[in-house]
């Protein structure tokens, strides 16, 4: 049994707390929001974000960050990506170098273009930071539906240790050394999910969705490989796997925001209606900057960015994508003659 601190009590933090408590670990679940902790203590359920999933008595909910981190061998950082830097900064005062930090947030910081693991390491001044990511909606993990996911770490030993803490009969964890590939796949898929939602909102069909997913993973792959990620990761659970689930699922807030935009709402109206952080909006800006930096063409991501920030009408963006210059599907394949 391990002592585990979960930092962030939204839908994913709560689902992971329940999973880890179910594996027999002692869990402290922290939130910066007092009313959220009151709710968890009183109802033993996150009724607004994860309704129907009861918190076992072994989970201690708290707003005391020092208590949440005390004696924990594992710390799971589960706040939305926009809050990761400030949260990691607050954690520094109580962080012990022997503690393993698992980042589960998906995003790229707009100004620094850094991924979450790098930000956490920077704020903690080092430490052992890994990432857990993959096609894993909290709502389904909360219902104990079979789910697969990947832990990325610098050493096999750390990855296998984290794997053993999380894994159970309905939650299968693979290991990987490609932290960067995992983080880029998890962040950039949210931008493509916005596009998939826009297509749904316009009433387009499965052909369009399949095109966005397939050409989307090409785009993500081009950028990720230029940045040093491994091709295998893009073909795996945290690449194509997470992209498929986010573009297709009713649980995806990025797809939902995109759908509202496709139906004619402005991006601001769509964000208000979703009422949760739509991380793809931030990652879209960062991805465009990364595309420029690494000289990689990102036609779908660039259009999403223009729809969000430059008032490009969605229909015009689709028209532009369909009318691009003729191309071969894979530039590197050789012709017989």
- The residues carrying an active-site annotation are 189
Near ligand NAD by CB under 6 A: residue from 106, 161, 209, 285: 106
* Closest residue to ligand NAD, based on beta-carbon distance: 10
Return d(Cα 225, Cα 96) in angstroms, integer: 34
User: Residue 6, Cβ neighbours under 10 Å: how many?
Assistant: 30
Residues in contact with ligand NAD, counted by CB under 6 A, come to a total of 27
CB of 265 to ligand NAD, least distance (A): 20
What SS3 class is residue 4? Answer: strand
Least Cα distance to 207 among 217, 218, 196 occurs for 196
Rounded to whole angstroms, the Cα distance separating 254 from 192 reads 9
Phi/psi at 325 (5° precision): -55, 150
For residues 125-144, which are near ligand NAD according to CB under 6 A? 136-138
Is residue 10 involved in binding ligand NAD (CB under 6 A)?
A: yes
Beta strand ranges found along 117-273 (DSSP E)? 128-133, 147-152, 171-176
Instruction: Give the footprint of ligand NAD on residues 86-105 (CB under 6 A).
Output: 87, 104-105
Q: Is 249 in the site for ligand NAD (CB under 6 A)?
A: no
Q: Based on CB atoms, which residue is closest to ligand NAD, 49 or 161?
A: 49
Contact 88, 62 (CB under 8 A): no
Residues contacting 132, CB < 8 A, separation 6+ = 76, 102, 103, 104, 149, 150, 151, 152, 162, 166, 173
Q: Using CB under 6 A, pick the residue from 4, 5, 13, 223 that binds ligand NAD.
A: 13
Measured from the CB atom, the residue of 272 and 316 that comes closer to ligand NAD is 272
Convert residues 28-57 into a mask of x (bound to ligand NAD by CB under 6 A) and - (unbound): ---xxx--x------------x--------
Give me the residues that bind ligand NAD (CB under 6 A), please. 8-13, 31-33, 36, 49, 78-81, 83, 87, 104-107, 136-138, 276-277, 279
């Amino acid at each position: 049994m391990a002592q585990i601190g979960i930092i962030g009590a939204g839908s994913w933090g709560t689902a992971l707390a329940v999973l880890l408590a179910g594996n027999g670990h002692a869990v402290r679940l922290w939130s910066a929001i007092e009313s959220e902790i009151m709710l968890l203590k009183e109802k033993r359920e996150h009724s607004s974000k994860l309704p129907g999933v009861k918190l076992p008595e072994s989970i201690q909910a708290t707003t005391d960050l020092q208590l949440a981190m005390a004696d924990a061998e594992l710390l799971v950082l589960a706040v939305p990506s926009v809050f990761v830097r400030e949260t990691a900064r607050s954690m520094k005062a109580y962080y012990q170098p022997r503690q393993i930090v698992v980042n589960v947030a998906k995003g790229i910081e707009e100004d620094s273009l850094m991924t979450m693991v790098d930000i956490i390491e920077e704020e903690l001044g080092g430490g052992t930071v890994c990432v857990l990511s993959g096609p894993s909606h909290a709502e389904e993990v909360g219902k104990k539906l079979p789910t697969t996911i990947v832990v990325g770490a610098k050493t096999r030993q750390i990855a296998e240790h984290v794997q053993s803490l999380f894994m159970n009969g309905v939650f299968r964890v693979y290991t990987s050394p490609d932290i960067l590939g995992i983080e880029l796949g998890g962040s950039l898929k949210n931008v493509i999910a916005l596009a998939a939602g826009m297509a749904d909102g316009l009433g387009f069909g499965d052909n369009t969705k399949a095109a966005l997913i397939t050409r989307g993973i090409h785009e993500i792959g081009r950028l990720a490989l230029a940045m040093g990620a491994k091709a295998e990761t893009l073909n795996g659970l945290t690449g194509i796997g997470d992209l498929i689930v986010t573009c297709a699922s009713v649980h995806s807030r990025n797809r939902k925001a995109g759908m509202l935009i496709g139906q004619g709402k402005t991006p601001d109206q769509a964000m208000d209606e979703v009422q949760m952080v739509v991380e793809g909006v931030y990652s879209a800006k960062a991805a465009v900057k990364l595309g420029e930096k690494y000289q990689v063409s990102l036609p779908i991501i660039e259009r999403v960015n223009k729809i969000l920030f430059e008032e490009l009408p969605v229909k015009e963006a689709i028209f532009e994508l369909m009318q691009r210059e003729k191309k071969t599907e894979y530039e590197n394949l050789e012709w017989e003659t």
